[in-house]
Chains A and B, each alone.
Chain A
Amino acid sequence: MYRQTARILLLLGAVALPTAAIAAPSAADIAAGKSIAFNRAEGNCLACHVLPGGTMAGNVGPDLTHFPFKIVFHNRQKLVNFIYDPEKVIPHINMPQFGKNKVLTHHQIELVAGYLWSLQK
């Protein structure tokens, strides 16, 4: 996982996505983000990633339970940008382009990013 984390770090540094501050999500928004992440017909993050409270999670992608989102992405906007089009950040990554290919709406991606951001202590 560290190797993957570092790859993301290095590439994020190279890409330097625009940063815009977004308001901290409410508890309701976090719950909504979790629901999208768990839902098979929406984010379906559990297909590939372990998330706290998720049952029968896949192990194709990194375990996100203790993933250092803040260190890797610096701010939530960069995480939103990553989920929107991971390929832009990490070429050949095996992760759907959730925003670019309209799997999720921009608002849904923001909710998911807010939920993931909230996982860190």
Chain B
Amino acid sequence: MSWNRKHLLDIESLTVEEIWTVLDTARAFKAVGARAIKKVPALRGKTVVNLFVEPSTRTRISFELAEQRLSADIINFTTEASSLKKGETLKDTARNLEALNADFIVIRHSASGAPHFLARVLNASVINAGDGAHEHPTQALLDTFTILEAKGKIAGLKVTILGDVLYSRVARSDIWALTKLGAQVTLCGPTTLVPRVFEQMGCRVTHNVEEAIADADIINLLRIQHERQRKTMFPSLAEYTSLFGLNQARLARTKPDALIMHPGPINRGVEIDSEIADCPRSLVLRQVTNGLAVRMAVLFLVNGGKGPQEIAGN
């Protein structure tokens, strides 16, 4: 058991022991979700600001519910209705929120490093809910938790991440978490979206989908992020689907106990066949349930974190 961090900014800087602490704590919080009374007073009297400068539905809702179940007070701050639209800087916005005695800031931002910046300038605890294409640590923790729950272990598992890796903060955080815990990670997708440079993160890179999924225990599909790409990354969605989409024919050639994951939102018929998304081998909805437990665990842990302010990443 070890957690002395005030912030959760990325997975890259976490130790293996810290990742296990989150996963162990999340198991206890998942049990709370199964009770008649699903709320505990752990963050009673604390204020959390959800600063979502980039649109998000599921992550924001998951964080909000996690905060409510910990009895925190919540302020939601979205770009559409904010002073950021009027030209206020991120720093000023955050300082104003802190002047209201916010104890935690959960930030989603299109710029990589925005949470690290806030952690430097604020006294509040900062939790990264996704920064640009950099990291999405709580997603990686809930993915890891879900794999552990479904497979009973992480070390030695073969995990294939298929899709838009280049623009994916989920992929980066997943790669850090899974490789730290001893899984073998394979990345697959079009050459433009899965460059060889990812081999430096300890992954196998292939552009052949059949090869990538043949011996996988977990196939983690990533959404094609229209909003982050230029049109030149691949010719068309239809071509992507035919070359890399997970369909019944491809699924039939995987290991029978291989499980399917997707961080959502799903583009049905693009990266995954609609029936596969709903089949018993799909962990998609368990990921959502577990996301709540993992976010409760993270808030619970950083609440007690006083230690040296880690400014990770660089």
Same complex = no
Residues of chain B touching chain A, judged by Cβ–Cβ distance below 8 Å, are: none
